[in-house]
A and B are shown apart, each in its own frame.
Chain A
Amino acid sequence: MTKIPRRVLRTVRLAALPLLVLAALASCNLMGSGPLTIKECITDFSNGYTGGNYSTLYTYFSSVGTSMYSQIKPATYWDLTPFASGNGPDALSGYTINSTTVTGTFTNANGTYDLSITMEQDGLYWYIKTLDLTDPTNGGASVLSIS
């Protein structure tokens, strides 16, 4: 068997080290949980409120960028918004993503509202930073504002 020179081994080890660190970091992130794209975040949020999972809806918002983060944690808060089951069935439709802004319409049994969402990336994952619902039939009056 051919003996590998110590100098070559050392070079290989040094070259492999950054790769190992990168692999470790990547595996840590992949082992975490969170939406990896804006679309995934919006879909998860939408599934959350249509499924009535109000106590976890805050997890789709940015703990850094959303000032109301601690206020919107209780499930009760969401029961006081147009996302409440009493206002259902809900649907988020026809939305477009332009850079970090999502615009579309939110429809529940009571009407159709303009939806505007700004997104923020934290590490690999995307979160909602602000969410606004306005009434296009009433001069764009605010229906709900989370910032």
Chain B
Amino acid sequence: MISTTMKIGFARRGLPLFGLLALLVPAHLAAQSADVTYVQGSVDLQKPGQPRTEAFIGDSMNPGDSIITGSDGLAQLQKENLADITVSQGTVFTLRQIEENGKKRDVLSVSLGSLAFKFNQLGGTEPLIGTTSAVAGIRGTELKVFAGADGSSLFVVESGKVQVSGASGQPVDLTANEGVEVDPGQAPGQKIKVLHGQVDYSTWNAQKLDALLKDPGAAAAKVRTQMESYIAQINDLWPEYQKAYAKLTEERQKLPEIEKKQGKQARTDYYNKTVLPVEQRARGLFLNLRYYTLSALSLRRYVLGTMYTRLTSMYIVDQSNPVYRGFEQIYQQIVTDYERSVVPHLVAADI
């Protein structure tokens, strides 16, 4: 039931992502942490609701936690001997979870910077790879993921198969030495041929940064589209969750009466057969709602926030410049939408 919810949510935007992924990737993925196996330079670990601390070898990263590398930082993580993850400099990498078919599934999320992922066990249980603009389902894969200063992403496959989906349009299938770029809020672009080691994150991100500074309004508009996509998912899930919660409340209220009229065993039977599935569905919807809420928080904090800081510094003595004014106007719209639609779903510990 829960995966159906996910399919509907994406299909409304022409993106039957999770339905397709269900065919590509084994359904079960146990919740697992990732352990830091190597750090170099500035590497921090951010746990939700806690101060950022320096990361050390042996630290564990759990869903909700972020690894943030500085301009000289590099971190390597191992995920339960199943995958090796290399987090390059200037990257914000967050481990998240969604729920599909009652099973929790990890999402390796890159808000900014680049990530190399190598899965060590063919036919095993791969997580999803997410950026602020796209999600990739993978199979037996060595994959590089770049997340740019303007919120765009670049997926480059070195081996295996990857299906990349953006906020709209059709997913794109990639095989070895192929790549695709996805702008925030957009469909994946055209596939490109990429030779091994040909793409350098710094060069790619410098181009993205140039484009951002040349037309900050256009970059902000794409982020707005992406934020709208997350908000749409939240808005789709919220009434479904409320409905499931109302149903749960209604069913729970019947229990004392059943016990009174038919006895204790009848109550137990009714709970197990009728109430428990409703309880589990509501819990799954809640978990998925939190996934999109926390994704929106990342977009706001790491992409839009960084953009705003960069442009405000750049135009600090020329804030009436029409280029800056155009950007700020869109920025304010995004912040307003975010505060209205996302913030109510956050809890203090998320911030």
Chain B 300-322 near chain A by CB (<8 Å), digits 1 or 0: 00000000000000000000000
- Judge whether B48 and A111 touch: CB under 8 Å: no
Q: Which residues on A sit within 8 Å (CB–CB) of B255?
A: 109-110
The A-contacting residues of B in range 14-71, CB under 8 angstroms, are 30-33, 47-49, 60, 62-65
Of all A-B residue pairs in the complex, the 6 with the closest CB atoms, nearest first, are A70-B64, A67-B31, A110-B271, A111-B268, A80-B283, A86-B252
The A-contacting residues of B in range 236-252, CB under 8 angstroms, are 245, 248-249, 252
Query: Which single member of A67, A68, A86 contacts B249 (CB below 8 Å)?
Result: A86
B7 proximal to A (CB < 8 A) = no
A81 proximal to B (CB < 8 A) = yes
Pull 7 A–B residue pairs with CB atoms less than 8 Å apart, ordered by A: A67-B63, A68-B63, A68-B97, A70-B48, A80-B245, A110-B268, A110-B275
Query: Which single member of A66, A77, A82, A111 contacts B286 (CB below 8 Å)?
Result: A77
Q: Which residue of A lies closest to B248 (CB)?
A: A80
Q: Which residues on B sit within 8 Å (CB–CB) of A86?
A: 249, 252
- Judge whether A81 and B63 touch: CB under 8 Å: no
A143 proximal to B (CB < 8 A) = yes
B290 proximal to A (CB < 8 A) = yes
How near does chain B come to A38, taking the closest CB pair, in angstroms?
Answer: 21
* A109-B256 Cα distance, complex, nearest whole Å: 9
B282 proximal to A (CB < 8 A) = yes
B276 proximal to A (CB < 8 A) = yes
Q: Which residue of B lies closest to A74 (CB)?
A: B347
B329 proximal to A (CB < 8 A) = no
How near does chain A come to B109, taking the closest CB pair, in angstroms?
Answer: 13
- Judge whether A73 and B48 touch: CB under 8 Å: yes
The B-contacting residues of A in range 85-112, CB under 8 angstroms, are 86-87, 109-111
A64 proximal to B (CB < 8 A) = yes
Q: A71-B97, A73-B349, A80-B282 are in contact. Are A111 and B271 (CB under 8 A)?
A: yes
B104 proximal to A (CB < 8 A) = yes
- Judge whether B33 and A111 touch: CB under 8 Å: no
- Judge whether A147 and B287 touch: CB under 8 Å: no
Chain A 114-142 near chain B by CB (<8 Å), digits 1 or 0: 00000000000000000000010110000
Chain B 269-301 near chain A by CB (<8 Å), digits 1 or 0: 001100110010011001100100000000000
How near does chain B come to A68, taking the closest CB pair, in angstroms?
Answer: 6
How near does chain B come to A122, taking the closest CB pair, in angstroms?
Answer: 11
A53 proximal to B (CB < 8 A) = no
Q: Which residues on B sit within 8 Å (CB–CB) of A68?
A: 31, 62-63, 97, 104
Q: Which residue of B lies closest to A135 (CB)?
A: B272
- Judge whether A66 and B272 touch: CB under 8 Å: no
Q: Which residues on A sit within 8 Å (CB–CB) of B259?
A: 109
- Judge whether B286 and A76 touch: CB under 8 Å: yes
- Judge whether A147 and B31 touch: CB under 8 Å: yes
B267 proximal to A (CB < 8 A) = yes
